């Protein structure tokens, strides 16, 4: 199971940022991500981001990254989206809230008698389940 602090694959995030910088510019992507061009370049070059920076980069990935036009959602992208939704809550509330959101989605698919999409299974596998939920 991947820790809650590592929702997105860092190499995948770096690759997406590098590709977008190549397609546009470092300043454009840094502006979209809400950080300095130097800070973005340090991350792309292999630096480890602080938690707040990682959240900004995950938010950028959700809003501007390569999957924004895809119809197939990956588990990592779905978890990044959910983490963006809960990021303003106290850190102690992140996991329980994510578990509730995932449970609600699972229930919605079951009620609609639709098969759960693969990304939902992947997200459940990433966050696990809690007896409290």
Residue 100 sits in the same domain as residue 121: yes
User: How many domains does the chain divide into?
Assistant: 2
| Spans of the chain, pLDDT less than 70 | 1-7, 67-72, 129-133
Same domain, 14 and 65: yes
pTM: 0.56
Instruction: Give domain status of residue 133, yes or no.
Output: no
Is 132 inside any structural domain? no
The pLDDT value given to residue 71 = 55
Give me the pLDDT at residue 90, please.
Answer: 94
Q: Can you tell me the distance from the alpha carbon of 17 to that of 97, in angstroms, rounded to the nearest whole number?
A: 28
- CATH for 12: 1.10.260
Verify that 60 and 82 share a domain, yes or no. no
Distance CA(14)–CA(20), nearest Å, equals 10
Predicted confidence at residue 107, as pLDDT, reads 97
Could you list the residue range(s) of the whole structural domain that residue 30 is in? Answer: 4-69
Residue 57 dihedral angles phi and psi, to the nearest 5°: -70, -40
Whole-number pLDDT of residue 129: 60
């Amino acid at each position: 199971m991947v820790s809650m602090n590592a929702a997105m694959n860092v190499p995948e995030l770096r690759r997406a940022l590098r590709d977008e910088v190549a397609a546009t510019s470092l300043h454009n992507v840094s502006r979209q991500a809400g950080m300095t061009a130097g800070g973005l370049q340090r991350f792309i070059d292999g630096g480890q981001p602080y938690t707040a920076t990682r959240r900004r980069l995950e938010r950028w990935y959700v809003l501007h990254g390569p999957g924004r036009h895809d119809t197939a959602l990956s588990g990592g992208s779905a978890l990044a989206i959910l983490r963006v939704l809960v990021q303003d809550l106290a850190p102690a509330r992140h996991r329980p809230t994510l578990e509730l959101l995932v449970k609600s989605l699972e229930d919605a698919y079951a009620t609609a008698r639709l098969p759960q999409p693969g990304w939902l299974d992947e997200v459940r596998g990433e966050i696990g389940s809690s007896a409290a939920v």
